[in-house]
Amino acid sequence: MISGQLPEEYISSTVLGKMKLEHQFKEAFFVMPKVYYLDYGDSQVYKCKGFPGDLTRADFEGLYNGETLDLKVTKWSKDRVEGKQNREGDKEVGRVIKVTP
């Protein structure tokens, strides 16, 4: 990732040894591995390891600035003591994950 534009002589998707331009985005926050936010102008892409829910740009900006984010994750587990595969033994287990840059 670079903040400016490379000269055309360094960019080629077919010539070995030159750089390939893969993405151009308007704004990005790379907080830590597997935790990032990309704004392409017309769409946004964000990932946060271990959290399947939605996060906002403000959440990623806070993480980037050193704030901690507490997220509740709901997991489902089965009671397999009797070897049943039905949903009767399902129970909801909540856990909190902390994302700290």
Q: Which of 52, 53, 48 is nearest to 38 (CA)?
A: 48
* Mean pLDDT of the 13-36 span: 91
How far the first Cα of the chain sits from its last, in Å, is 19
Q: What is the pLDDT of residue 20?
A: 92
Q: What is the pLDDT of residue 78?
A: 63
Tokens of 12: 């080629």
Domain locations in the chain as residue ranges? 23-99
Q: 70: alpha, beta or left, given left = phi > 0 and alpha = psi -120 to 50?
A: beta
Q: What pLDDT, in 10s, does the model give residues 79-98? A: 666 655 554 444 444 555 66
pTM comes to 0.68
Q: What pLDDT, in 10s, does the model give residues 39-82? A: 999 999 999 988 888 999 999 999 999 888 888 877 666 666 66
Q: What is the pLDDT of residue 3?
A: 78
pLDDT at 14 over 90: yes
